[in-house]
Amino acid sequence: MRCSLAAIAALTLTQLATVAPRIARAAPAARAGALPVVRVGTLKFGTVDWELEVMRRHGLDRAHGFIARPLDFAGKEGTATALQGGAVDVILTDWLWVAKSRALGGDFVFAPYSHLTGGVMVRRNAGIVRLADLKGRRIGVGGGPTDKSWIVLRAYAQREAGFDPARQATPVFAAPPLLNETLRRGGIDVAINFWQYDARLDSADFFELIKVEDMLPAVGLPADMPLLGWVFSARWGAAHRAALGGFLAAAAAARHILATQPAEWQAIRNLTGAASEETLARLRAAYRASVIAGGTPSPATLAAEAQRMIDVLAALGDQDEVPPGDKLPPGTFFVGSQS
């Protein structure tokens, strides 16, 4: 059934020292009337800033009764730490993080946003033409050893080619921008990275060996399974129902604009870092592919799909990535209007 879109630790002193300057730089936003502010933790190399810019230019936040205030962080861990410490209200992350947090006593919930896209990108002159050719290779991985695309690749390679890339190849973990640069310079011949970085690679030099969405069904998961979502504290959501509902509605509106109006991409071109019209077109196509079509699954359906993914991870031996007991905690998925 489909419905419409829409232990946890405080910040350490060191983390606060890192976060505070960013908050201070973003703080000058004067209150516009009585509109509440929703603080959104974003990644410097992420795509959330593209949507927040669309939201700002079109006045979608104010039209939905709140003011969006983005706060940039250098990495995924920084946004999660800020959310845990109350320095931001909403972040974009995966439901596995939410599940682990809830299992440890947290109250975070997940509202679906997008599904996994991207794929295994290969240098054309590397002599790699099939999955088995990845054996013994250095494979670049954006996002670290718990990156979901990397985990899917590991499960898929074991099932389809009889080897685990984590053991019979050499993973090279790096931040997505650095990984792309290493790939361009020939330091590695193959990588699995965030979709926006795959789209920036020149098609004359690189090709996609296999898409993540094509690997998912082979490991027992739906190709359009939502993985990333808006994450917030249930207590905060209950105390700010109108602001939360407005944020999810405005975020969905901004996403729809970017998915359907090509002219918007010229307006955000500087944010995308696209060096050419061809790259911008690839970014737009990849973005559109990540949008969940036909509505998000119901929380019950999501919970069943999520448990199947936890089972896949447990089978790989990734106990650090799954909730204790290998079970999805109740309440992981937000019940309500979702973006």
Angle between helices 299-316 and 148-161 (to 10 degrees): 60
Q: What is the pLDDT of residues 157-167, one digit of tens each?
A: 999 999 999 99
- AA letter at 49: D
The CATH number corresponding to 2-115+225-326 among 3.30.450.20, 3.40.190.10, 3.40.50.300, 3.40.1390.10 equals: 3.40.190.10
Same CATH topology for 2-115+225-326 and 119-219: the answer is yes
- pLDDT category at 29 given cuts 50, 70, 90 is very low
Provide the mean pLDDT of the chain: 85
- pLDDT category at 33 given cuts 50, 70, 90 is low
The pLDDT score that the predictor gives to residue 329 is 95
81 neighbors 19 (Cβ within 8 angstroms): yes
Which of 91-105, 135-149, 229-243 is the most confident on average? 229-243
Q: What is the mean pLDDT of residues 121-136?
A: 96
Domain 119-219 in CATH 3.40.190.10? The answer is yes
In whole angstroms, how far apart are CA 329 and each of 73, 136, 161, 222?
28, 38, 33, 21
Both tokens of 81, joined, read 């730490």
User: Whole-prediction pTM value?
Assistant: 0.82
Both tokens of 73, joined, read 């962080």
Strand-strand pairing, 119-123 and 206-211: antiparallel
Domain ranges of the chain: 2-115+225-326, 119-219
